[in-house]
Structure 1
Amino acid sequence: MSQSPVDDRTTLQELKNRVAAFVAERDWQQFHTPKNLSMSIAIEAAELMEHFQWLTVEASRNLAPEALADIGEELADIVIYSLSLANTLNLDLAQTVEAKMTKNIRKYPADKVKGKAHKYTWYEKGEE
C-alpha cells in the first residue's frame, strides 16, 4: 500500500508527473496552451477569493472545516494548473521559485520591510 502524498515527502517533480499523466490520459495537451492555462489559473484564483469576499479578517483566520476543505480544493486547482503550465512551458519550477525568492530578498530586505506591507518601489524611494 502506498503512502498518501504529504508536503514533507512529495517532490514538485512527482506532482508535475502526476499532473502530466492525468492530462495525457485524457488527451488534453491540445487544450493546455500557455494562454488557456494562465486564464484557468486566474479563474481559479477568483474562485478562491470568492470564499473570502465578505469575511472579516478574523473570520478568514477561523474557518469552519467545510469551508477550509472547499478553499483547499480551489487552491489545489491553482496549483494543478500552475504545474501543468510549468510542464507546458518546460519550466523547472523549483529553480524558478528559488530565483524569484532570491530576487524578492533583494527587493524586500528584512531590515527595511519587517512589519511593513508596502510595494518594493516604496522602499526604493527611501521612505520610512
Structure 2
Amino acid sequence: MSDIKFLTEKIKLFNKERDWDQFHNPKDLAIALNIETSELLDLFLWKRNEDVNVEKVKEEMADIFMYAFNIADKFGLDVNEIVENKLKINAEKYPVDKAKGNSKKYNNL
C-alpha cells in the first residue's frame, strides 16, 4: 500500500469516527480546500520568507493535503497515477531545453 493510500485510509477512518462523511461531498470538499489554501496564503502576506511561521505552514499544508486526498477518494482517483500523468503532460508542454530557467507559460516559450 502506498503512503498516500495509507494516509487516505487514516483520513477516512478519522472522518468516519466523527460521522463527517455526510458533509464531505466533492463540492464542499473543494470549497474547504480553497479556504485552506487561502489560509496558507495569509501566512505569507506582507512577510519575508524568514518571518513565516513554519509550524503554521505545516498545519495548513496538512489540511490542504487531507482535503485533496478526500476529493481524490470521492472520485476513486489514484493520486500517484494522476500526479505521474500530469508530470508527463507538463514535461511535454515544458521541455527542458525551452523551459529551464524560464518562467513563461508553455504557449510563450
TM range (shorter): over 0.9
> What residue number does 2:95 align with?
109
> What residue number does 1:126 align with?
none
Q: Give the alignment's TM-score, normalised by structure 2.
A: 0.93
Q: Does 1:13 align with 2:10?
A: no
Tell me which of 66, 70, 73 is aligned to 2:56.
70
Q: Does 1:94 align with 2:86?
A: no
Structure 2 unaligned residues grouped into runs of 5+: none
1:55-66 to 2 correspondences below 5 Å: 55=47, 59-60=48-49, 62-63=50-51
CA distance in structure 1 between the aligned counterparts of 2:51 and 2:65, rounded to whole angstroms: 21
Q: Does 1:31 align with 2:23?
A: yes
CA distance in structure 2 between the aligned counterparts of 1:53 and 1:63, rounded to whole angstroms: 10
Deviation at 1:63, TM superposition (A): 4.2
Deviation at 1:15, TM superposition (A): 0.5
- The one-letter code of the counterpart of 2:76 is N
CA distance in structure 2 between the aligned counterparts of 1:13 and 1:37, rounded to whole angstroms: 18
Tell me which of 39, 43, 47 is aligned to 1:47.
39
| CA RMSD of superposed structures (Å) | 1.3
Deviation at 1:121, TM superposition (A): 1.7
CA distance in structure 2 between the aligned counterparts of 1:63 and 1:80, rounded to whole angstroms: 26
Q: Give the alignment's TM-score, normalised by structure 1.
A: 0.80
How many pairs are equivalent?
A: 108
> What residue number does 2:70 align with?
84
Deviation at 1:49, TM superposition (A): 0.3
Structure 1 unaligned residues grouped into runs of 5+: 1-9, 124-128
- The one-letter code of the counterpart of 2:38 is A
Identity of counterpart residues, as a percentage? 37
